[in-house]
Homo-oligomer: A and B are copies of this chain.
């Protein structure tokens, strides 16, 4: 049964993890879905509303502080006096894989824009709202969707790894600053290929070699329900058959 009193906000909504997270959190909350292009959030916004949930989409570029500010002004009007229960930062940005000496400034910077700067703007927008909600049934939660690249800087992946390492630093710092204030911050290391339309071309021998985005969403929901005496701040998630 969904309470319409509280909201969840998901940044980075496309056909994969973001949409699944939105669907899962929409079972309990109204959801605000942020993406650069409306085409990315419209199908899932419509789907949730058609199914009796409540969803809105706001076109937002999280790497741009002004865009994030405008998005949250709009969101707070929509929310009225309702509280923010959860915030998921699921923006991954481009995955640039090429020789280091061939990287353009813009390509290198893209990892930071999505995973560092964007995480910063989003966190500064949601944390004041989450801090107001520490008496809710479930502790207010901020989850960052990260990747194996947060743990290991592989050859040819300097841009993405720099961004994901930075995201992990921000997540750790926020967990330590805001945990004692009642906000649950999680760095989620998604280690594997997500099973969506776009990744159909990636063929594996094993039928369960890709991660189901619904399962990630379920894990995120579980993390959100953990009580204050039992916070998980870092979790890894991968298919059983993944090499790591």
Contacts and interface: CB of A to CB of B under 8 A. Distances in A.
A103 interface: yes
A117 B124 contact: no
Contacts of A177: 99-100, 155-156
Contact of A120 (B121, B158, B229, B232): B158
A58 interface: no
Contact of A100 (B124, B164, B243): B124
A87 interface: no
Contacts of A176: 153-155, 243-244
Contacts of A117: 108-109, 112
A75 interface: no
A211 interface: yes
A242 interface: yes
Given A109-B117, A166-B162, A184-B240, A124 B153 contact: no
Interface string A71-110: 0000000000000000000000000000111010100110
A120 B241 CA distance: 23
A145 to B, nearest CB: 13
A216 interface: yes
Given A229-B195, A232-B219, A237-B232, A168 B180 contact: no
26 contacts: A100-B124, A100-B173, A100-B174, A101-B127, A105-B120, A112-B116, A112-B117, A116-B116, A120-B158, A120-B162, A153-B169, A153-B170, A153-B172, A154-B173, A157-B173, A158-B173, A161-B172, A163-B166, A165-B169, A179-B241, A208-B228, A211-B230, A212-B229, A215-B229, A219-B230, A232-B235
